[in-house]
Structure 1
Amino acid sequence: MTPVLNRLPYPAQSSTPAFAPLSKPVSADSHAGSNDAIIIARHLAERLATTASERDQIGGHAAKEREWIRESGLLTLSIPKEFGGQGADWSTVYQVIRILAKADSALAHIFGFHHLQLAGIQLYGNTQQQRRLLTASAEQQFFWGNALNPLDKRTIASPGKGGYILNGVKSFSSGSVGSDWLTISAWDETTQSALVAAIPTNQPGITVQADWDAFGQKQTDSGNVHFAHVFLPDEWVLQGPAQTPTPQATLRSQIAQLVMVNLYLGIGLGAFDAARNYTNDEAKAWFASGVNASAEDPFIQHRYGQLWMLLRPAIALADQAAATLDQVFDKGVLVTANDRGELAIAIAEAKYLAHQAGIEVSSQMFELTGARSTSSRHGYDRFWRNARVHTLHDPIDYKLRDLGRYVLDGRLPEPTPYS
């Protein structure tokens, strides 16, 4: 039997909230402004930070902390007001992702990819699909996961009565463990093309395998999703096979890339703050420095200046790219291929700098904090491990290639799942 959209079972809730409300909760009714969302994100980040290092060592599924995110009200942040959400712009969503990533980049990833799936519904879905899925998401606080990876063609969609039958597996399915709904892609062998759809995670035949074992980003719930004779109704197909994506639909990959930009920035800023606090509070001055405190060492000051100048331009380009995305996204069906291409260039610029900042700051911080800062009780290595794992999502060299083509002959990137 096909589940009824507004009657899906909601995850079991404890009778006692995981924590007291984070100041005034953001709710679908209040339509809180961006400042409210930022304040709540900061409180949530503080809460996540108290256990981030310990959970990084443990790995696995952060069920309790995901409920903190749900209770904060921030899951409805990007849902348009007409569907019961808060209608925040992308600039605000990315600020929240960056704030959370400073404390816990794994859960910030899950949060960012949740909003990526909601964006996909707006970009691929028809008016009825958007209203049904987004309204139900706002009302029931659905947590969305990702199984949309067009390069992984192992999930096959076979035409059936009233829909498709899905068989196969999807890898790198971020946020799938503990999710309520998934957006998926599946390969239609008849047309040799992919379809895009939404489906409840509890649909019979779906098994989510919690087998993510990377050395960083350990709690992104990015395991494999298995499909065994899963019925996908036509009404949940957002983009059919052999359907050419519109320029508007291809914005999804740019939204995803900018999620990563702000994750890398959050990691870099988190590492910078951790190093600065350690330098001011615990580090010992080197014996040959001639100063009483590490923070007074001119070489230490010089290096902090260098690290900040990795972060500062990356922040500026990330914010500029988010503002450009807002302008393009708001055009709706009027988005042109040129709009999309110029946005891709802006995001490629931001991603390169954020990539460099995340890797370099999380690595060089130890040269400023010294041997004692490598103690496992601090867990500072998590910043580099998280940055190193996540920056391998897609090769940064291809971003530089796109930028090189653009500055040489004005060529804009071709739409792909990664550009």
Structure 2
Amino acid sequence: MGSLPETQIDYTIHPRVNSDDPVPPRPRPAQPPYLLKDDADAIRVATELAAELAKDAALRDREGLLPLRELDLYSQSGIWSIIVPKEYGGPGLSYATLAKVIDIVASGDPAVTQIAQNHLAILGLIDIDATDAEKREVFGWALQGLRFGNAFSEFGGKNVVDFKTRVTFEGDEAVANGEKFYTTGALLSHIVPIVSVGDDGVYLVFADRETPGITITNNWSSFGQRTTASGSVRLENVRVPKARAVKLQDVSQVPTVQGPISQIIQAAIDAGIARNAIDETIRFVTTQSRPWIDSGKETAGEDPYTIAAIGDLKIRLHAAEALLDIAGRAIDRGLAEPTLANVSDATLKTAEAKVLSTQVAIDATNKLFELGGTRSTLAQHALDRHWRNARTHTLHDPVRWKFYHVGNYYLNGIHPPRHPWS
């Protein structure tokens, strides 16, 4: 990928989140996305992209603007196919590199970054569960630049795995019916993968975004991660070729790294939020804040308590990022050799990374205001978005259970559970 285009965009005509205005299906890309060469190339692309996403991140958050141009840049960057295996034409880069790349991109805009979360997790799931023919089709779509949305979670049910969406088979067609929420990416996707329960197990049904019977409502109203368009999807007799229904393994019976793959992306986004918040704190303290009267210092940056707080945050961020790298390499081992020991190791190491990235994201976004002082709360600075993004995104998977599963393994030898939230 060369330099990102310096195009101007008229945000006054942009669709907004939580709006009744219809958002038509996005056009398919005119050309395939960039194909990443290696780890260094992926880091370079992510760094360039993060700088571009950061430019209007505060504006998009304040106005609730859907990131149309930014999402096109993101999905054409090559990052959305970063884990497509080499034997299927992709870069086949490691999960450690994926975590680093997502961390970097999220430091530019974590909301835009999150839109790729389910796309990437689905690629990992296909790599584990699909047949060769299914892999060739799904990986081929990704290499063409098609974006996968998400029709996974449901708002009703007694817990996150109590799925009511059903799939039935009529001749050569799969027919899906149900309703989904938290459908990050679906609104702006090209293909909507639908988690559905059949008579013989759980399926991932791939439907084109414009398939009759799919209704996507732009009703995401959270105070954080506002521009992810994580609204709802209604499915009414959605028909697709039967070959597009991929049967999923029962992870409670078969050890796979499906859970850690999903989790490491979430943890990396939180690390990116923390990284950006710390950088914003340093910038604000050194350019805007006044020293406290009792410090006897000339500048806020000389305050010993502020210095110590920045040091603490940087150390904890680096620890979280180091654990992300360790977890990524454990996932690579578990993918290559999916033994119970390797899968549990990947799950535990990813859980540890998730704990640290969650904690430092929340603490860094809190400290931004404590160290920046009262003027850091002024609307003109738009710094509150960092805390709102951290508080919202870290709710995906409760870290209180991460402590329990890690402790239960080391104390009692109990392997952690296997599901997408572990």
- Fold conserved between structures, TM > 0.5: yes
- Which string of whole-angstrom CA distances, capped at 9 and with x for unpartnered residues, describes residues 171-213 of structure 1? 111111110112221123x45x432232222222112211111
1:208 to 194, 208, 216: 216
Equivalent residues of 2:251, 2:419 under 8 A apart: no
Moved segments of 4+, more than 6 Å: 246-249
Q: 1:224 aligns to what?
A: 232
CA distance 1:224–1:291, change in 2 (3 Å): same
Equivalent residues of 1:26, 1:32 under 8 A apart: no
SS in 1 for 2:226: coil
Distance in 1 between the 2:129 and 2:345 partners? Answer: 21
Q: 2:271 aligns to what?
A: 265
Letter in 2 for 1:293: T
Distance in 1 between the 2:307 and 2:46 partners? Answer: 30
Structure 1 window deviating more from structure 2 (177-186 vs 209-218): it is 177-186
1:365 to 362, 365, 368: 368
1:110 to 109, 115, 139: 115
Distance in 1 between the 2:416 and 2:290 partners? Answer: 49
1:141-290 correspondence to structure 2 within 5 Å: 141-149=145-153, 151-188=161-198, 190-191=199-200, 193-239=201-247, 244-245=250-251, 250-290=256-296
- Which string of whole-angstrom CA distances, capped at 9 and with x for unpartnered residues, describes residues 106-143 of structure 1? 111112332112112212210011012212321x2111
2:134 to 109, 115, 129: 129
Equivalent residues of 2:33, 2:76 under 8 A apart: no
Equivalent residues of 1:148, 1:196 under 8 A apart: no
Distance in 1 between the 2:228 and 2:252 partners? Answer: 30
Equivalent residues of 2:169, 2:242 under 8 A apart: no
1:374 to 374, 377, 393: 377
Q: CA deviation at 1:303?
A: 1.6
Q: 1:41 aligns to what?
A: 46
Structure 1 window deviating more from structure 2 (247-256 vs 375-384): it is 247-256
CA distance 1:13–1:118, change in 2 (3 Å): closer
Q: 1:4 aligns to what?
A: none
- Which string of whole-angstrom CA distances, capped at 9 and with x for unpartnered residues, describes residues 202-254 of structure 1? 222112211111100111121111111111332112116xx534877742221
Equivalent residues of 2:191, 2:209 under 8 A apart: yes
SS in 1 for 2:176: strand
CA RMSD of aligned residues (A): 2.2
Q: CA deviation at 1:84?
A: 2.6
Q: CA deviation at 1:159?
A: 3.0
Q: State whether structure 2 residue 355 is matched by structure 1 residue 348.
A: no
Q: State whether structure 2 residue 417 is matched by structure 1 residue 414.
A: yes
- Which string of whole-angstrom CA distances, capped at 9 and with x for unpartnered residues, describes residues 344-385 of structure 1? 111111111111111111112211111111111211111111
Aligned length: 392
SS in 2 for 1:272: helix
Distance in 2 between the 1:230 and 1:249 partners? Answer: 32
Distance in 2 between the 1:233 and 1:245 partners? Answer: 25
Equivalent residues of 1:124, 1:249 under 8 A apart: no
Q: 1:312 aligns to what?
A: 318
SS in 1 for 2:379: coil
Distance in 1 between the 2:251 and 2:406 partners? Answer: 24
- Which string of whole-angstrom CA distances, capped at 9 and with x for unpartnered residues, describes residues 257-288 of structure 1? 11111111111111000000111222221222
Distance in 2 between the 1:122 and 1:364 partners? Answer: 40
Distance in 2 between the 1:105 and 1:182 partners? Answer: 21
Letter in 2 for 1:365: L
Which consecutive unaligned segments of at least 5 residues does structure 1 have? 1-8, 18-24
1:32 to 33, 37, 42: 37
Q: State whether structure 2 residue 27 is matched by structure 1 residue 11.
A: yes
Equivalent residues of 2:26, 2:188 under 8 A apart: no
Q: 1:22 aligns to what?
A: none
1:390-405 correspondence to structure 2 within 5 Å: 390-405=393-408
Distance in 1 between the 2:375 and 2:84 partners? Answer: 46
Equivalent residues of 1:154, 1:170 under 8 A apart: no
Letter in 2 for 1:384: W
Q: 2:332 aligns to what?
A: 326
